[in-house]
Structures are given as structure tokens and as C-alpha cells.
């Protein structure tokens, strides 16, 4: 079991609506920053800041594909977060509507 302080920190991070929404999006598939910007209808610096915090906490990981960096969930070792993410509503329909300019 993880230390309570680490769990509290992770749960506090996910207490932010934008970061929780990003986790819900990444539950469906890996995304690049431009996809998240389009889905959240917000600015690239805003999305990058949230992703940076999630990455610093080890909740997301980066994979480089050509010139793009894709973000995906990294919660395999955190069953309490897997449970929370499992309860997040699916945003698959919304994701199917994006243009995928990054690809």
C-alpha cells in the first residue's frame, strides 16, 4: 500500500476538474496535447501545465511518435486510482468528434 501522503497528493491533483477530465480522456486512449486542447476547448499552455503536474506525480507518461508527444495513463501500480478512473464517465463519443490534427 502506498503511503497515505502520496495517496492524498494524488487525490488532491485529481480534485481539479480539468485534470480529472484529462484522466477520463486518457482512459480511452493516448492523446497528444493538441487533441486535449481541442477536447477541453482551452489553451495549449493550460493543458501543458495540467499534463506537467500529472506527469510529475507519475500519473501519466509520455511516448514520442515522430514530432508529437502522446500522453497515456500510468496508474498500473495504483489500484485506488484505477478504481476512481473506472468510475469516470466515458468521453469516447466526444473523442470520436475531434479532427486529430496531430496525426
E strand map for the chain: 31-32, 60-65, 68-73
Say which DSSP state 1 is in.
-
Q: Taking the model in full, what pTM does it have?
A: 0.90
**Mean pLDDT lowest for which of 39-43, 69-73, 82-86, 92-96?**
92-96
Q: Where are the domains of the chain?
A: 4-95
12, 54 Cβ separation under 8 angstroms: no
Give 72's pLDDT tier (boundaries 50, 70, 90). very high
- The yes/no answer on whether domain 4-95 falls in CATH 3.60.110.10 is no
Amino acid at each position: 500500500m502506498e503511503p497515505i501522503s502520496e495517496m492524498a497528493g494524488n487525490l488532491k491533483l485529481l480534485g481539479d476538474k480539468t485534470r480529472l477530465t484529462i484522466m477520463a480522456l486518457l482512459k480511452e486512449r493516448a492523446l497528444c496535447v493538441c487533441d486535449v486542447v481541442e477536447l477541453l476547448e482551452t489553451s495549449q499552455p493550460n493543458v501543458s501545465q495540467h499534463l506537467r503536474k500529472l506527469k510529475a506525480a507519475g500519473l501519466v507518461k509520455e511516448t514520442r511518435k515522430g514530432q508529437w508527444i502522446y500522453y497515456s495513463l500510468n496508474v498500473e501500480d495504483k489500484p485506488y486510482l484505477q478504481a476512481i478512473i473506472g468510475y469516470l464517465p466515458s468521453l469516447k463519443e466526444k473523442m470520436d468528434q475531434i479532427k486529430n490534427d496531430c496525426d
